[in-house]
Amino acid sequence: MSNPTRSASTDELEAVFQRELVTDRWAAAETAFALASRHRDLTDWSASREWVQQCLRLLEGFPAEAEEQVATRRTSVGGVQLPNYLHAGVVQARFGDLG
């Protein structure tokens, strides 16, 4: 997926996530957020919940005391807009009961 603003399928995003999980865990957390959003938009609540939980698990491994520690590196992933900051509070606010 060379164009980060193009709408990617969930299968494409999952393949990206698997690569990032090994090479860049922060990018993987951003992609997990995008997958949770994409599945929510498709009304696949179960899959969205799984990706929310995966995102939260990944975020547990990062410090979150300062803004620069939680600032997203990308504006979007696979056509899904990312928030400016990514931490558990943002995920809970965006996904509510799915978290």
In a domain, 1, yes or no: no
Residue 62 to residue 41: CA distance in whole angstroms:
27
Dihedral (CA of 25, 79, 16, 33) sign: positive
In a domain, 69, yes or no: yes
User: Which has the closest alpha carbon to 80: 94, 67, 61?
Assistant: 94
What's the pLDDT tens digit per position in 13-40? Answer: 999 999 999 999 999 999 999 999 999 9
Residue 96, C-beta contacts closer than 8 angstroms, at least 6 positions apart:
none
Amino acid at 49: R
In a domain, 46, yes or no: yes
In a domain, 3, yes or no: no
Joined together, the tokens standing for residue 30 give: 């951003």
Domain, as residue range, for 26: 10-98
In a domain, 2, yes or no: no
In a domain, 5, yes or no: no
Q: How many domains are contained in the chain?
A: 1
Mean pLDDT of the chain: 93
pLDDT reported for residue 29: 98
